[in-house]
Amino acid sequence: MKAADKHYKFINSKTGYVIFHFTLKGDINEADTKVELEKVKADVASKNRIFLDTIYWEEDKEC
């Protein structure tokens, strides 16, 4: 059986607003998931001109 995709949201901690959504395949291991999410976090920070430490990610359970 194929694992379900996981959905994540990236949030600006100063405003509390979700600034980006991202989906990963469910069959990726936990270490690779964290590496991929950190890459996306850096890209989101750069594109939005926000300090890297201002952004955090969490799994979106509503999807």
Question: Is residue 35 one of the residues assigned to a domain?
Answer: yes
pLDDT tens by residue, the chain, 63 residues: 467 899 999 999 999 999 999 999 988 899 999 999 999 999 999 999 999 999 999 999 887
Q: What's the rounded Cα separation, in Å, for the pair 51 and 12? A: 10
Tell me whether residue 10 is in a domain: yes
Asked if the structure places residue 43 within a domain, the reply is: yes
**Residue 1 within any structural domain of the chain:** no
The predicted pLDDT at position 62 comes to: 81
The count of domains in the chain is 1
- With respect to residue 50, please indicate whether it lies within any of the assigned structural domains: yes
What domain range includes position 51?
6-59
Residue with tokens 């509390």: 16
In a domain, 38, yes or no: yes
What does the block give as tokens for 56?
Answer: 């955090």
